[in-house]
Structures are given as C-alpha cells and as structure tokens.
Structure 1
Amino acid sequence: MKKKGKMAACLILLVLLLAVLAVMTKKNSTADTDSSSSDSSADSEKVVDISKDDVTALSFQINGETASFTKTTGDDDTDTWTYDQEDGFPLDESKVTSVLSSISSMAAERVIEGDEIDSMADFGLETPSEEVTVTAGGETTTIHVGDKNGSSKYYVYLNDDTSRVYMVSTPLGTMFPSDIMEWATSESMPSVTADHITKIQVEGENGYTLTKEVSAADSALQTDEWQVVDADGAAHGGDADSISTMTSAVASLSFGDLVTYNASDLAAYGLDQPKTTIRVHYTEEQEVEADDTTTADTSSDSTTDSASSDSTSSSSSSETTTVTVEKDLVLYVGNANEDGGSYYVMLDGSNEVHLMTASNIDAFTEKTVSDFWNMYVGMENVADLTSLDITYNGETKTYVRHVEEVKSDDDDSTTQEISYTCGDETIDKSTFTTFYSSLIGLKAQTKDTGLAQAQDAEFTAVFHMTDGDLTFAYSPYDSSFYYTVDDDGIPSLVNKNNVKTMLENYETLLAAKTEDDSSSDSASDSAE
C-alpha cells in the first residue's frame, strides 16, 4: 500500500510539473521570446509592403492629439511635405522621410498568430500606445503599436486584423516627436571663435563690459589686452585667464529645444523686458569675390555685419579673397522655464524662442566686474620709464633710466644702450632689473573697494613714465598682507611674503657696487 501511495504522489507531481512547463513554454513563445524567429515563415516578412516614395500622407499621435502630414507635388515635380494642423509651420521634411524609411523597411522578426494569441493585452495592444497611419497608392494602412519587450522589440498589428501580431526591432517608441516643435526647422547659434571676440557686454543686474584693447598688448611684460568696465563707466585692467573663460563660454553657447518659431507674446517668456542682454562683438573671416572686397555674406539673421576690412589674404588659384568682417551677436534672456533648468532666450532680429541651459546663462549673470580685474598692482613697462623714486626706511632715492643711441663703426645702424643712475653713481643694470621686475610683478590676493589703509606706508614707489606719474605705497595691513592701491585706484591686499622678496631685492640694489661703465649692456636686456 505504501508503494502504491508513493507512486500516486509521484504521478500527481509529474502532472503538475508538466502543466507548469506547458504554461511557461506558451508564455515564452508569445510575449517575451525573440529568439524563435525560425518558428515562423515570417523571418524576413515586410510588415507594411509600401515604398516610402509612394506615401502621400502620414499621421500619428502626440500626447493624444493627431498630427498629420500631407505630400503635394509642385509644377516642377518637386515633392513637399506640410503639417496639416498649422499653416506655415516650418516643417523639417527630413523627419518625415526618415520615419517613412523606417516604416517601409520594417520587417517582422516573428509573427505570432492563432493559438499563440490569448489576449491582445499580453502584447500591450488592447490599448495601443501609438497608432500610425500611412497612405500610399490610395490605400491607407494603420499600424497599432504595443509594448516593448525585454529585448527591446515592439509588438504591432495592422488595421483591424488582430489575428496576427508582428514583433519588430524598429524603434517605434522613439522615432516620433513628443512635441511638434521637434520637427520644426530652426536657427542655430552663430558660430563664434573665442579668439576673435573683441567685446562682451552683459546688461542687467551686476552688468559689466569686457573690451579687448589690441594695441595695448605687450607680450614681453604680459600686459593684459583686456579692459573691464563697470556699470559706472570706470575702466580697470582685465585678467586674461578670467576673460578667456568668458570668451570660451560665448563660443560654447548653444540652443536647447525650440519653444516657438513665431513668438507673438514675448511677455509669456519674460522677453518683452529681458532680465539680461548679452552682446558680443567679434570678427569673422569670409571669402568674397576678388573684385568686391568691401562686401561680405550677411545672410545670418542672428548677427549683424557692421563693417568689413580690406583683403587679408588671397589665393592665386581662385578669384576670391579673404576679408575680416566685424559682427555683432545679441542674445536676450527671459524667464526660467518651469523646472528652472533652462531660460527662454531669443536672438536679436529673430522671432524664435529657444531654451538654453541655466549653466550657459549663469556663466555670464553670476559674475561681477571684480571677477575680471587684473590682479597685478601696477605692471609698468620699463621702456616707458624715465625715473623711479623709492622711499624706504625714511630715505628717498631717485633712479634715472638713460637711453643712448650708439652708431655702429661698421655700418650706419644704431643700437640703444640702457643705463641707470642714482645721483652721480651708475647702478648695476642686472641688479636694478631684478628689483624692478619684482616690484611690477606684485599681484594682489584681494581687491576690494571697501578696504582701508591700517598703518603708515613702509615703502613707496613713484613711477615717472612718459605718459604721467604713478604712485604705489605699501603699508602693513595685518600679519599676512600689505595694503596698497593699484593703478586703477582699487584698494588691494598683497601677500606679505611677496612684498618681503621685493624689499630684499631693493636692499640688494642699495648695497650693489657702482657699475663699471664698460659693463653697460645694450637695449636687448630682458628688462626692456
């Protein structure tokens, strides 16, 4: 009896296992398996047997609303696609043709039919996520799109035929737009080369202007080319590295999504009275006809050409020449969008409103004029120096720079010989150069108009330059800094150790022996 009972139990268990196996096999063969394409003769069957060139109408759903498109043929036999729901919509026709290419080439990797279909809900087709309709040769076909399975395949059926379900790899869930503006043609940000920018002006709260003064460049002394102008019009020397970051930021500007191509209510985006306006002046090289060097391409509606220069280069193998064109870019910044991650922006002269990431805009609006100040105290070119008064430890000495033109005995050429004197003594040139370099090389760690002098000056330098006089007085501020005022009148704090090094170089100058006249060098010395 016990043996019969065990046998019966084993039979029952076997039946249960077979039942489970049958259920799993059927489930895998329907909804989740894409590896059984050989089970059907539809291994390479086209789902929709059409040619994309024959399609004359397309429609699908965007957020529950129908978006439809119609192709018309003009008198010149040119085909044109239009968006039916909005006259004048700037449709990017390549979006339509791309979708039609995917649909016309869509092949079934597997066909599920007959007893394999228990319920259309198993495939997400009871309530399709998308319905795409194409018309070709007078015949309309509707593609009902269901779920995407674990292998990224989609299930579809055609028209009203629920007896056949196709599994396809065509990315039906991502090939249609979530907003019709994604299918609109739109402008791009003008391409600006960072090194060609000569002016950046930010208007709004904490506004400032960065202006490139090309003629002021002096690579030997690393004199800044840029000036920083505050809202009151006061100019300050600009820091090359900080401003380089800004020119790179301009060159990196790009639009996000297109919001509207024909804005009629600018107030809806905060663009009727922009919170910030970014103005950029730059140059651009353009090729023009060799006999017309005074004109250049002005086709861009987002920038303005203000002038063009004479030819800068030409090619003997063509009849074109290169001109440098002055251009302006103006970007208006409105409100932040709903999630705060972007701003509404518009180019001057355009009707298009775009989104631009907050990080792009913040790079300009979160700066203040002091962020761009040159941190040197006074970078005075020795070539423009006539004399230098130094007051230290209660004693004032004057150092005079002499320039002598020396004619060569071999030819008519002349060279300059530079020397320095203090009273009746000729000063060792190398020692003076070392001191002078450490003096003009002092950089502030902090510049702040709110700083005030705490003690009397320990060291004062008065530069007598060819274009005027400049005075710098250094007084102890605390245990770490000396206080001074830079050549733009900005109170500054300089690291005490750097001032100490400068003072040590001056003490070396005081102790230096008189230079022998025969040791004078020419004007090629590094200080020059």
Structure 2
Amino acid sequence: MKKKGKMAACLILLVLLLAVLVVLTKKNSTADADSGSSDSGADAEKVVDFSKDDVTALSFQINGETVSFTKTAGDDDTDIWTYDQEDGFPLDEGKITNVLSSLSSMTAERVIEGDEIDSMADFGLETPSQEVVVTAGDEKTTIHVGDKNSSSRYYIYLNDDTSKVYLVSTSLGTMFPSDMMEWATTESMPSVTAENITKLQVEGENGYTLTKEVSAADSALQTDEWQVVDADGAAHGGDADSIGTMTSAVASLSFGDLVTYNASDLSQYGLDQPKTTIRVHYTEEQEVASDDATTADTSSDSAADSASSDSTATSSSSETTTVTVEKDLVLYVGNANEDGGSYYVKLDGSNEVHLMTASNVETFTGKKASDFWNMYIGMENVSDLTSLDITYNGETKTYVRHVEEKKDDDSDSTTQEISYTCGDETIDKSTFTTFYSSLIGLKAQTKDESLVQAKDAEFTAVFHMTDGDLTFAYSPYDSSFYYTVDEDGVPSLVNKNNVKTMVENYGKLLAAKTEDDSSSDSAE
C-alpha cells in the first residue's frame, strides 16, 4: 500500500511539473512573439508573394470606408493609377508606389501558429483595424491588420488563413491616409525670396501697404527704403528691420492640409468674400533662350500667377540670358477652421482650398501700419543739405554747407571739397558732422497721433534741403521724454537722454575753434 501511495504521489508531482513546463513554454513563446526577437534578419520569412510592378488594383479602408485604385496602361504605355470612387481626382501616384513597395517586401519577424494561437482576439485580429486587398494578375491577397505590440510591430494574417499570425515591422498603421486629400497632388506656395519683394499689401481691417523705394547710390545716410501707407492713404517712412521681418514671413509661408482640390462653394470657407487679402509684388530671375536678334524684349503674363516681365538682353541665339520677371502673389484668407488653429486660404486663380496655421496668417492680420513706421524723427541726408538753422537758448545760428568742385592736376577727374561756415567763420567739419549725426539719429520711443505738445520748444532745427525745408522743435514733455513732430507730421516722444546727448554735441560745435583747412571729402 505504501509503495502504491508513493507512486501515486510521484505521478501527481510529475503532472504538476509538466503543467508548469507547458505554462512557462507558452509564456516564453508569447513574450517572444510580442518582442519579435526570434528568427529575424536573413532567415525572416517573406509574407506575400507578389511584385509591386505586377499589381493592378489596390484597396484599403479609411475610417471604415473602402477606397480602391486601379492601374491601367496610358497612351504612351506608362501605367496610370486612378481613384475608383472619384473621377478626376488628382491622385499622387507616388503614394501608391510607396505602399506597394513596402507591402511587397514585407517580411515576418516571427510566425505564430498552432498551439501558440488561443484566440485571434489576442492579436487584435478578431476585428482587424485595416484590411488591404492587393490584386496582381489573377491572384488577390488580403492582408488583415491587427494590434501593434510594445515594439511597434503589427500582427497580421493573410486571406482566410487564421492558422498563422505574422509579426511584421512594416508601418501598417501610418502607411495609409486618414483622408484622401492626403493622397492628392497639390499646388505649393510660390517660391519668393524676401530680398526680391518690392510691395506687400494687406487688405482688410487695419490694412496697410509696404512699398520698397530705390535709394540713390550715394545716399549713405538714407535708411528709409520702404514707404508705409495706412488704410486712409497716409504715408510714412518705413522701418527696414520690422518690414524685413514681414518679407521673411512671406518667404516662409506654406500650406497646411489640402481641404479640397476643386472648391465649388467658397462661402463655406469664408472665401467668397475674404476677410483678408494679402498681395505680394516681387521679382524673379529666370533663364531664357536668346533669339537671333541682337536685342530681345521679353514679357510674360499668366492668369495663374499674374506675372509680367519687361527686360532687355543681348546675346547670340545659342546662349541663354537672365531676365528679371515681375510677379504677383495674391492669397485670400477666409474663416478660421473649427479648432481655430488654422484659416482657410486659397491662391488667386486656383480652385484649391488649403489650411494655413493661425500663427502664419496672424503675422499679417495682427499688424497695423504704425507697427512699421520708421522711428527716426528725420533722417535728412547731409548731401542734400544747403544750410541748417539752430535755435537754442534764444539764439539762432545758421550753418551753411559749401561744395567746391576741384579738378585734379594729374587727371581730368574732379573732387568735391566740403566746408561749413557760420557767419564769417569756417566751422570744424568733424565737430559739425558729429553734431549732425546725433541730430538726424534721434529716434522716437513712441509715435502717436493723439500726443499733444505740453511746453514751449527748447531746441529747434530748421533743415534747408535741396527739395524744401523741414523744421523739428523739441520741447519737454515729462520727466522722461521730449515732444516733437517727425518728418511725416506724426507727434513723437524722444528719450530725454538722447536729446541731451545731441544738445551736448551742439555745445561742442559752439565751442569749436574755426579752421582754414577745408579738406576734401566727397562721401562726407
């Protein structure tokens, strides 16, 4: 009896050990499946048996709806893919090529089969998240896609064969679009170089126009290359730095998602009556073939980009020449989208509606003309100065600029000799230049039409220029600022310390000794 009891106990223990072994084996097998750590690399099993070049049809699902594509031969024997659900859809065929390349080369990092499969639900394959059907010749392959494991591998099975589950590293979750517009060919924003922009106009609330002006080559002190015009037509000098930020913003504009490629009802996007219109005039260098004539006049005009050119080139018929083409970019801005993070936009002459980020759009709509004003009070070029009247402490002095052309003894060229006088005295040019630079270098902290003069002027400068006179009077405003009116007639506040420095330089000019040496200085 005792021997039989011991034998029974041994049998029970053996059964328990076998059960534990089975559990551990299955657990390790599941862990290997989850990590995809076994049988990979050179021994990896190819999952499908078709070549991407032999595929004639493809389908998959977007948000539960099946979309399909068919390949046909074109007139020139090239393959053409079309979207079956919508005639005329501008399909980006490269998207299909990429998908088929990935699917046809798909290999399994692990094959799970037999007792390793308890339920397809364990792999997310009871109700697959995606079903891809590939037709190549007479063969049709259906790929059922399940869950993604912790190592970003996907479980799949083929056709109706649920006896094998493949673990693959192919990015099946991101391979397919969430919206068909992601697979449409689409236009891009025209390429614009910031330095080539000559005009930027924003139409809408607080609209403004920024226009680039060509400065004279010898205008060393002239910094107002831009003109700012507000919605009422008032013009002001522009600040190169702030406007440069805007032209750079134009150059970096880009579209977000494509909403529709053929909009029929613009009102649903607020584009039937755009809230804002952004107009950009710019130039572009283009290479064109020279004709047989010595001089070639070229011009272009297209409705798509409203471009035009007018340039002259000299070359032979076998060469190309570079011409400067003038172009216009017109962008319409409609409503904000549902989440407010983007706006609906479209280019003039296009039926495509895109999204553009709110930050990009509001770079233009969130500004007003005064944001681009030049903050200098008056940058009057000394080369255009004939005389300067300064009134300080009740005394007025007039400084006259003299220009004398002298011919060089050794050549036919001439040089300019510049000198300054006050009454009968010749003024030290260096001291005058220092004072003049500090005078025209004064910048406003604030420019505001509502500012009002509080006290009488302490310092007045009257510039007599070749094209007219300008007067700037500086009066105390408060403990921090002086009040004046800039050259565009806008009331301005200037930091009192800067005015103090300018007045000190004038004091040095008053104290400077006269000089007889009127040295040559053509650039001044």
Match of 1:73 in 2: 73
- Report if aligned partners of 1:376, 1:486 keep a CA contact under 8 Å in 2: yes
Match of 2:305 among 290, 293, 303: 303
* Matched pairs, number: 512
Deviation at 1:103, TM superposition (A): 1.1
CA pair 427-472 structure 1, distance change in 2 beyond 3 A: same
Match of 1:33 in 2: 35
Match of 1:261 in 2: 261
- Report if aligned partners of 1:29, 1:116 keep a CA contact under 8 Å in 2: no
What pairs with 1:313-352 in structure 2 (closer than 5 Å)? 319-352=319-352
Larger CA deviation: 63-72 vs 404-413: 404-413
Deviation at 1:275, TM superposition (A): 0.7
Task: Specify the code of the residue in structure 2 equivalent to 1:96.
Answer: I
Deviation at 1:25, TM superposition (A): 2.3
Match of 2:285 in 1: 285
Q: CA offsets, 1:504-525, max 9 Å, x none?
A: 111111122222x2x1111336
Larger CA deviation: 42-51 vs 362-371: 42-51
User: Are 1:523 and 2:518 an aligned pair?
Assistant: no
Deviation at 1:430, TM superposition (A): 1.5
CA pair 412-294 structure 1, distance change in 2 beyond 3 A: closer
Task: Specify the code of the residue in structure 1 equivalent to 2:27.
Answer: M
TM-score by length of 2: 0.93
Larger CA deviation: 473-482 vs 284-293: 284-293
CA pair 70-461 structure 1, distance change in 2 beyond 3 A: same
- Report if aligned partners of 1:182, 1:258 keep a CA contact under 8 Å in 2: yes
Match of 1:400 in 2: 400
| SS of aligned partner of 1:304 | coil
| SS of aligned partner of 2:264 | coil
2:317 and 2:166 map into 1 onto residues whose CA distance is 60
2:60 and 2:413 map into 1 onto residues whose CA distance is 84
- Report if aligned partners of 2:331, 2:346 keep a CA contact under 8 Å in 1: yes
| SS of aligned partner of 1:242 | helix
Deviation at 1:219, TM superposition (A): 5.4
CA pair 446-281 structure 1, distance change in 2 beyond 3 A: same
Match of 1:426 in 2: 426
User: Are 1:24 and 2:31 an aligned pair?
Assistant: no
User: Are 1:190 and 2:190 an aligned pair?
Assistant: yes
Deviation at 1:403, TM superposition (A): 1.4
Q: Which runs of 5+ in 1 are unaligned?
A: none
2:145 and 2:269 map into 1 onto residues whose CA distance is 36
Deviation at 1:217, TM superposition (A): 6.6
Q: Which runs of 5+ in 2 are unaligned?
A: 1-5
Match of 2:144 in 1: 144
Deviation at 1:277, TM superposition (A): 0.5
Deviation at 1:183, TM superposition (A): 0.5
Deviation at 1:45, TM superposition (A): 2.4
- Report if aligned partners of 1:42, 1:111 keep a CA contact under 8 Å in 2: no
Match of 1:56 in 2: 56
Match of 1:370 in 2: 370
1:422 and 1:87 map into 2 onto residues whose CA distance is 84
- Report if aligned partners of 1:90, 1:184 keep a CA contact under 8 Å in 2: yes
| SS of aligned partner of 1:501 | helix
Q: CA offsets, 1:454-496, max 9 Å, x none?
A: 1000000000111000000000011111000000001111110
Match of 2:86 in 1: 86
Match of 2:45 in 1: 45
| SS of aligned partner of 1:303 | coil
Q: CA offsets, 1:71-93, max 9 Å, x none?
A: 11134322111000000000011
Task: Specify the code of the residue in structure 2 equivalent to 1:522.
Answer: S
- Report if aligned partners of 2:299, 2:308 keep a CA contact under 8 Å in 1: no
Deviation at 1:26, TM superposition (A): 4.1
Match of 1:107 in 2: 107
Match of 1:174 in 2: 174
Sequence identity percentage: 82
1:438 and 1:221 map into 2 onto residues whose CA distance is 12
Deviation at 1:410, TM superposition (A): 3.6
1:480 and 1:360 map into 2 onto residues whose CA distance is 37
2:332 and 2:30 map into 1 onto residues whose CA distance is 58
Deviation at 1:342, TM superposition (A): 0.8
1:400 and 1:29 map into 2 onto residues whose CA distance is 94
Match of 1:239 in 2: 239
- Report if aligned partners of 1:288, 1:295 keep a CA contact under 8 Å in 2: no
Match of 2:505 in 1: 505
Task: Specify the code of the residue in structure 1 equivalent to 2:70.
Answer: T
CA pair 297-286 structure 1, distance change in 2 beyond 3 A: farther
- Report if aligned partners of 2:222, 2:381 keep a CA contact under 8 Å in 1: no
| SS of aligned partner of 1:492 | strand
Q: CA-atom RMSD, angstroms? A: 2.4
Larger CA deviation: 416-425 vs 250-259: 416-425
1:382 and 1:34 map into 2 onto residues whose CA distance is 78
Deviation at 1:169, TM superposition (A): 1.1
- Report if aligned partners of 1:216, 1:224 keep a CA contact under 8 Å in 2: no
Task: Specify the code of the residue in structure 2 equivalent to 1:329.
Answer: L
- Report if aligned partners of 1:302, 1:329 keep a CA contact under 8 Å in 2: no
- Report if aligned partners of 2:256, 2:357 keep a CA contact under 8 Å in 1: yes
Match of 2:208 in 1: 208
Task: Specify the code of the residue in structure 1 equivalent to 2:520.
Answer: S
1:171 and 1:24 map into 2 onto residues whose CA distance is 26
What pairs with 1:402-481 in structure 2 (closer than 5 Å)? 402-481=402-481
Match of 1:294 among 290, 294, 297: 297
1:208 and 1:105 map into 2 onto residues whose CA distance is 56
Larger CA deviation: 265-274 vs 504-513: 504-513
1:415 and 1:67 map into 2 onto residues whose CA distance is 79
Q: CA offsets, 1:120-179, max 9 Å, x none?
A: 011110000000001111221111001111111111111111111111111111110000
What pairs with 1:476-487 in structure 2 (closer than 5 Å)? 476-487=476-487
Task: Specify the code of the residue in structure 2 equivalent to 1:111.
Answer: V
Deviation at 1:305, TM superposition (A): 1.1
TM-score by length of 1: 0.92
Match of 1:223 in 2: 223
| SS of aligned partner of 1:199 | strand
1:42 and 1:143 map into 2 onto residues whose CA distance is 23
Deviation at 1:23, TM superposition (A): 4.9
CA pair 165-419 structure 1, distance change in 2 beyond 3 A: same
Match of 2:126 in 1: 126
- Report if aligned partners of 1:286, 1:296 keep a CA contact under 8 Å in 2: no
Task: Specify the code of the residue in structure 2 equivalent to 1:242.
Answer: S
CA pair 410-93 structure 1, distance change in 2 beyond 3 A: closer
| SS of aligned partner of 2:241 | helix
